[in-house]
Structure 1
Amino acid sequence: MPPNVPADDSHQKLLDQLDITRTPRPFRNPHWKPSARRNKNVKQILSDTPSGSIPKPTNIAQAAQSLSTLVLEKNFNRAMYATGPAVTYTNIESAPSLHSAQQKHYCDITGLPAPYRDPKTRLRYHDREVFGVVRSLGQGVAESYLEARGAHVVLK
Protein backbone atom coordinates (compact mmCIF):
# COMPACT_ATOMS: atom_id res chain seq x y z
CA MET A 1 0.00 0.00 0.00
CA PRO A 2 1.43 3.46 -0.96
CA PRO A 3 1.96 6.07 1.73
CA ASN A 4 -1.03 8.45 2.15
CA VAL A 5 0.79 11.57 3.27
CA PRO A 6 2.75 12.41 0.08
CA ALA A 7 -0.23 11.56 -2.12
CA ASP A 8 -2.58 13.82 -0.14
CA ASP A 9 -0.06 16.64 -0.23
CA SER A 10 0.38 16.50 -4.02
CA HIS A 11 -3.35 16.05 -4.41
CA GLN A 12 -4.02 19.16 -2.29
CA LYS A 13 -1.50 21.19 -4.31
CA LEU A 14 -3.21 20.14 -7.52
CA LEU A 15 -6.61 21.12 -6.10
CA ASP A 16 -5.27 24.53 -5.05
CA GLN A 17 -3.78 25.05 -8.49
CA LEU A 18 -7.02 24.19 -10.30
CA ASP A 19 -9.33 26.04 -7.91
CA ILE A 20 -11.11 28.79 -9.90
CA THR A 21 -13.20 30.22 -7.06
CA ARG A 22 -10.37 32.38 -5.73
CA THR A 23 -9.27 33.89 -9.05
CA PRO A 24 -10.78 37.29 -9.79
CA ARG A 25 -13.02 37.24 -12.84
CA PRO A 26 -14.06 40.56 -14.37
CA PHE A 27 -17.65 40.98 -15.49
CA ARG A 28 -16.64 41.90 -19.01
CA ASN A 29 -14.07 40.33 -21.28
CA PRO A 30 -10.87 42.43 -20.99
CA HIS A 31 -10.45 42.36 -24.77
CA TRP A 32 -13.98 43.69 -25.43
CA LYS A 33 -14.25 47.04 -27.22
CA PRO A 34 -17.42 48.99 -27.93
CA SER A 35 -18.68 49.03 -31.47
CA ALA A 36 -17.51 51.90 -33.64
CA ARG A 37 -21.11 52.34 -34.81
CA ARG A 38 -23.18 53.93 -32.08
CA ASN A 39 -25.74 56.65 -31.57
CA LYS A 40 -24.36 60.03 -30.68
CA ASN A 41 -26.06 62.97 -29.07
CA VAL A 42 -25.87 66.54 -30.38
CA LYS A 43 -22.89 67.50 -28.22
CA GLN A 44 -20.85 64.52 -29.40
CA ILE A 45 -21.63 65.20 -33.06
CA LEU A 46 -20.66 68.84 -32.73
CA SER A 47 -17.48 68.02 -30.85
CA ASP A 48 -16.47 65.60 -33.64
CA THR A 49 -16.86 68.25 -36.37
CA PRO A 50 -13.79 70.23 -37.42
CA SER A 51 -13.42 73.38 -35.36
CA GLY A 52 -12.95 75.60 -38.43
CA SER A 53 -16.34 74.89 -39.98
CA ILE A 54 -18.68 75.65 -37.08
CA PRO A 55 -17.95 77.52 -33.84
CA LYS A 56 -18.61 75.70 -30.59
CA PRO A 57 -22.14 76.56 -29.37
CA THR A 58 -22.68 77.67 -25.81
CA ASN A 59 -26.05 76.01 -25.17
CA ILE A 60 -28.11 73.08 -26.44
CA ALA A 61 -30.42 75.27 -28.57
CA GLN A 62 -27.44 76.64 -30.48
CA ALA A 63 -26.08 73.10 -30.78
CA ALA A 64 -29.34 71.87 -32.29
CA GLN A 65 -29.38 74.80 -34.71
CA SER A 66 -25.80 74.05 -35.74
CA LEU A 67 -26.70 70.40 -36.22
CA SER A 68 -29.62 71.27 -38.47
CA THR A 69 -27.28 73.54 -40.44
CA LEU A 70 -24.87 70.63 -40.89
CA VAL A 71 -27.68 68.36 -42.06
CA LEU A 72 -28.95 70.95 -44.54
CA GLU A 73 -25.45 71.52 -45.93
CA LYS A 74 -24.94 67.79 -46.34
CA ASN A 75 -28.30 67.43 -48.09
CA PHE A 76 -27.48 70.36 -50.36
CA ASN A 77 -24.23 68.69 -51.39
CA ARG A 78 -26.09 65.46 -52.12
CA ALA A 79 -28.75 67.31 -54.10
CA MET A 80 -26.13 68.87 -56.37
CA TYR A 81 -25.08 65.42 -57.60
CA ALA A 82 -28.50 63.77 -57.50
CA THR A 83 -31.26 64.15 -60.04
CA GLY A 84 -33.87 65.40 -57.57
CA PRO A 85 -34.13 66.84 -54.07
CA ALA A 86 -32.91 64.71 -51.19
CA VAL A 87 -35.81 63.43 -49.12
CA THR A 88 -35.10 63.75 -45.42
CA TYR A 89 -36.95 64.55 -42.24
CA THR A 90 -35.75 68.14 -42.41
CA ASN A 91 -37.35 69.13 -45.70
CA ILE A 92 -40.81 68.93 -47.18
CA GLU A 93 -39.85 68.79 -50.82
CA SER A 94 -40.98 65.20 -51.21
CA ALA A 95 -44.21 64.39 -53.01
CA PRO A 96 -47.28 63.30 -51.01
CA SER A 97 -48.08 59.63 -50.81
CA LEU A 98 -50.38 58.36 -53.55
CA HIS A 99 -51.19 55.14 -51.73
CA SER A 100 -54.95 54.92 -51.21
CA ALA A 101 -54.60 53.70 -47.61
CA GLN A 102 -52.69 56.88 -46.71
CA GLN A 103 -55.29 59.26 -48.15
CA LYS A 104 -58.06 60.22 -45.75
CA HIS A 105 -61.36 61.42 -47.11
CA TYR A 106 -63.09 64.40 -45.54
CA CYS A 107 -66.65 65.63 -45.72
CA ASP A 108 -67.18 68.29 -48.40
CA ILE A 109 -69.67 70.15 -46.20
CA THR A 110 -68.28 69.93 -42.65
CA GLY A 111 -64.60 68.97 -43.09
CA LEU A 112 -64.97 66.00 -40.71
CA PRO A 113 -63.76 62.51 -41.67
CA ALA A 114 -66.12 61.16 -44.34
CA PRO A 115 -66.67 57.41 -44.47
CA TYR A 116 -69.54 57.79 -46.99
CA ARG A 117 -69.99 59.10 -50.55
CA ASP A 118 -73.25 59.99 -52.24
CA PRO A 119 -73.45 58.11 -55.57
CA LYS A 120 -75.76 60.69 -57.10
CA THR A 121 -73.78 63.88 -56.41
CA ARG A 122 -70.41 62.19 -55.65
CA LEU A 123 -70.03 64.40 -52.56
CA ARG A 124 -68.47 62.90 -49.46
CA TYR A 125 -70.40 63.24 -46.22
CA HIS A 126 -69.85 62.56 -42.53
CA ASP A 127 -73.21 61.28 -41.23
CA ARG A 128 -76.95 61.04 -41.88
CA GLU A 129 -77.56 64.68 -41.01
CA VAL A 130 -75.08 65.91 -43.58
CA PHE A 131 -76.50 63.44 -46.12
CA GLY A 132 -79.85 65.25 -45.87
CA VAL A 133 -78.08 68.54 -46.58
CA VAL A 134 -76.21 67.00 -49.55
CA ARG A 135 -79.42 65.71 -51.10
CA SER A 136 -81.13 69.09 -50.66
CA LEU A 137 -78.39 70.95 -52.59
CA GLY A 138 -78.99 72.04 -56.15
CA GLN A 139 -77.03 70.58 -59.05
CA GLY A 140 -74.78 73.64 -59.49
CA VAL A 141 -73.95 73.80 -55.75
CA ALA A 142 -72.85 70.16 -55.63
CA GLU A 143 -70.64 70.73 -58.68
CA SER A 144 -69.03 73.76 -57.02
CA TYR A 145 -68.18 71.61 -53.97
CA LEU A 146 -66.62 69.02 -56.29
CA GLU A 147 -64.70 71.77 -58.08
CA ALA A 148 -63.35 73.09 -54.78
CA ARG A 149 -62.11 69.59 -53.95
CA GLY A 150 -60.61 69.15 -57.41
CA ALA A 151 -62.93 66.26 -58.36
CA HIS A 152 -65.08 68.21 -60.81
CA VAL A 153 -65.20 66.54 -64.22
CA VAL A 154 -66.22 68.57 -67.24
CA LEU A 155 -67.21 66.56 -70.29
CA LYS A 156 -67.02 68.25 -73.70
Structure 2
Amino acid sequence: MTESTPTNGGAKLKRTFKQTFAFPKNCVYRPLRQIQNMERNQKLSPEQPTYFTLNAPPSLRPAKKYSDISGLPAPYVDPHSKLRFANAEEYASMQHMPSDIINGYLTLRGYTSAVG
Protein backbone atom coordinates (compact mmCIF):
# COMPACT_ATOMS: atom_id res chain seq x y z
CA MET A 1 0.00 0.00 0.00
CA THR A 2 1.19 3.44 -0.74
CA GLU A 3 0.79 6.36 1.62
CA SER A 4 -0.80 9.49 0.31
CA THR A 5 1.45 12.52 0.56
CA PRO A 6 0.56 16.18 0.09
CA THR A 7 1.32 17.59 -3.31
CA ASN A 8 3.48 20.45 -1.99
CA GLY A 9 6.06 18.41 -0.10
CA GLY A 10 4.46 18.17 3.36
CA ALA A 11 3.77 21.89 3.93
CA LYS A 12 0.25 23.06 4.70
CA LEU A 13 -1.77 24.29 1.80
CA LYS A 14 -2.21 28.06 1.76
CA ARG A 15 -5.84 28.90 1.27
CA THR A 16 -6.25 32.04 -0.74
CA PHE A 17 -9.93 32.57 0.11
CA LYS A 18 -9.13 33.20 3.79
CA GLN A 19 -7.95 36.68 4.60
CA THR A 20 -5.90 37.30 7.69
CA PHE A 21 -7.25 39.96 10.04
CA ALA A 22 -5.22 43.13 10.31
CA PHE A 23 -6.12 46.45 11.94
CA PRO A 24 -6.08 49.42 9.58
CA LYS A 25 -2.79 51.30 9.86
CA ASN A 26 -4.27 54.73 10.59
CA CYS A 27 -7.04 53.60 12.99
CA VAL A 28 -6.54 53.45 16.76
CA TYR A 29 -8.79 51.07 18.69
CA ARG A 30 -9.44 51.87 22.35
CA PRO A 31 -11.50 49.97 24.89
CA LEU A 32 -14.69 51.59 26.18
CA ARG A 33 -13.23 52.19 29.65
CA GLN A 34 -10.33 54.15 28.15
CA ILE A 35 -12.72 56.26 26.05
CA GLN A 36 -14.89 57.03 29.09
CA ASN A 37 -11.85 58.08 31.14
CA MET A 38 -10.71 60.36 28.33
CA GLU A 39 -14.17 61.96 28.12
CA ARG A 40 -14.29 62.56 31.87
CA ASN A 41 -10.95 64.37 31.80
CA GLN A 42 -11.77 66.57 28.79
CA LYS A 43 -13.68 69.82 29.03
CA LEU A 44 -16.47 69.19 26.51
CA SER A 45 -19.42 71.41 25.69
CA PRO A 46 -22.76 70.20 27.11
CA GLU A 47 -24.32 69.70 23.67
CA GLN A 48 -21.52 67.44 22.41
CA PRO A 49 -22.57 63.77 22.71
CA THR A 50 -20.44 61.36 24.71
CA TYR A 51 -20.84 57.74 25.83
CA PHE A 52 -22.38 59.02 29.07
CA THR A 53 -24.97 61.26 27.40
CA LEU A 54 -26.17 58.96 24.62
CA ASN A 55 -29.63 57.59 25.32
CA ALA A 56 -31.23 54.50 23.87
CA PRO A 57 -34.58 54.85 22.14
CA PRO A 58 -37.64 53.67 24.06
CA SER A 59 -38.41 49.98 23.87
CA LEU A 60 -41.06 48.85 21.40
CA ARG A 61 -42.12 46.02 23.69
CA PRO A 62 -44.82 46.76 26.26
CA ALA A 63 -43.68 46.97 29.87
CA LYS A 64 -44.08 43.81 31.92
CA LYS A 65 -46.76 43.96 34.59
CA TYR A 66 -46.23 42.34 37.97
CA SER A 67 -48.57 41.58 40.83
CA ASP A 68 -48.75 44.30 43.49
CA ILE A 69 -48.99 41.68 46.22
CA SER A 70 -46.59 38.85 45.29
CA GLY A 71 -44.39 40.29 42.52
CA LEU A 72 -45.26 37.47 40.11
CA PRO A 73 -46.18 38.25 36.47
CA ALA A 74 -49.75 39.55 36.65
CA PRO A 75 -52.10 39.03 33.72
CA TYR A 76 -55.15 40.30 35.68
CA VAL A 77 -56.32 43.65 37.11
CA ASP A 78 -59.08 44.12 39.66
CA PRO A 79 -61.55 46.58 38.05
CA HIS A 80 -62.60 48.07 41.38
CA SER A 81 -59.29 48.58 43.17
CA LYS A 82 -57.00 48.63 40.08
CA LEU A 83 -54.56 46.26 41.84
CA ARG A 84 -52.77 43.72 39.68
CA PHE A 85 -52.88 40.07 40.73
CA ALA A 86 -51.47 36.78 39.45
CA ASN A 87 -53.97 34.14 40.59
CA ALA A 88 -57.30 33.55 42.29
CA GLU A 89 -55.78 33.28 45.78
CA GLU A 90 -54.38 36.81 45.55
CA TYR A 91 -57.72 38.07 44.27
CA ALA A 92 -59.50 36.49 47.23
CA SER A 93 -57.06 38.13 49.66
CA MET A 94 -57.54 41.51 47.94
CA GLN A 95 -61.30 41.37 48.54
CA HIS A 96 -60.73 41.59 52.31
CA MET A 97 -58.12 44.40 52.28
CA PRO A 98 -58.99 47.82 53.68
CA SER A 99 -58.82 50.77 51.29
CA ASP A 100 -55.79 52.37 53.00
CA ILE A 101 -53.66 49.25 52.32
CA ILE A 102 -54.88 49.18 48.71
CA ASN A 103 -53.94 52.87 48.37
CA GLY A 104 -50.52 52.03 49.82
CA TYR A 105 -49.95 49.33 47.18
CA LEU A 106 -51.07 51.73 44.44
CA THR A 107 -48.75 54.50 45.61
CA LEU A 108 -45.84 52.05 45.68
CA ARG A 109 -46.57 51.25 42.05
CA GLY A 110 -46.98 54.95 41.21
CA TYR A 111 -50.69 54.79 40.34
CA THR A 112 -52.17 58.22 41.00
CA SER A 113 -55.93 57.59 40.99
CA ALA A 114 -57.47 56.87 44.41
CA VAL A 115 -59.83 54.00 45.11
CA GLY A 116 -63.44 55.17 44.93
Root mean square deviation, CA, Å: 3.9
The unaligned stretches of length 5 or more in structure 1 are 1-21, 38-48, 50-66, 88-92
- Does 1:35 find its partner at 2:21? yes
Higher helix share: 1
1:142 Cα deviation after fit: 1.2
Q: Distance in 2 between matches of 1:33 and 1:95?
A: 37
Corresponding residue of 2:32? 71
Between the aligned residues of both structures, percent identity stands at 21
1:102 Cα deviation after fit: 5.6
1:86 to 34, 51, 59: 51
1:145 Cα deviation after fit: 0.6
Aligned length: 98
Where relative contact order (Cα < 8 A, 6+ residues apart) is larger, the structure is 2
Corresponding residue of 2:59? 99
Residues 94 and 102 of structure 1: is their aligned pair in 2 closer, same or farther, counting only changes over 3 Å? farther
Question: TM-score of the superposition, structure 2-length normalised?
Answer: 0.58
Residues 148 and 72 of structure 1: is their aligned pair in 2 closer, same or farther, counting only changes over 3 Å? same
